[in-house]
Structure formats: structure tokens, C-alpha cells
Amino acid sequence: MGKSYLALHPEESEIEILVFRLGLGINALHSPGSSALDEAARIIQSRHIDDFRMDRLVEMNGWILTQTELRLAAVTFLAQLEAKSENC
């Protein structure tokens, strides 16, 4: 799903851009500790609910997903690519 989303939105093909658009800010990538994770989870949950309220739903590969879910999938996809390139 993340790869498909990025094919439709190449302007979001960097992790930092996606993290910003998820409302997390760049510090979310480097903030250790459970309080940072709790705050990120709260923000993502709020965005997810807002997606439904604002009708930010996307049909992709037969699924109806929120923009937030697809951006999270894109972050995961890019992070996996980055990890693979580091291991080579």
C-alpha cells in the first residue's frame, strides 16, 4: 500500500515529508521514550479520526483507507527501503 500511495503522491516520497504531514514533526523520528511514542500515537489517532470527518478516504487496491493510514504505510515502505540499502 505504501508503494502504491507514493506512486500517486511522489511529492511525499521522503520520510521527513510524510512525518511532517502526519503532524509529528521531525523530532518524532529521534525522540526516545514512551512519552514521545504516546504523543505520536495520540496525534496519529486524532488525524485518523479527522480523516473520516473530512472524508479523506482513498480507495486503493480494493481497500478504503484513510490518508493517515496510507501515509503510515508509505513511511513503513520507505523505512524498509532505507534499511535494505544500509545493509548492502
- For residue 73, name the pLDDT band (cuts at 50, 70, 90): very high
Taking the C-alpha atoms of residue 70 and residue 80, their distance in angstroms, rounded to an integer, is 15
Contacting residues for 71 by C-beta, under 8 A, at least 6 apart = 5, 12, 18, 21, 22
Q: What global pTM score does this model have?
A: 0.85
Question: What is the greatest pairwise CA distance in the chain?
Answer: 43
pLDDT tens for 30-51 read 556 667 778 888 999 999 999 9
Q: Mean pLDDT, to the nearest integer, of 55-81?
A: 96
- For residue 27, name the pLDDT band (cuts at 50, 70, 90): low
51: phi then psi, degrees, rounded to nearest 5: -60, -40
Ramachandran bin of 75, using left for φ above 0, alpha for ψ from -120 to 50, beta for the remaining angles: alpha
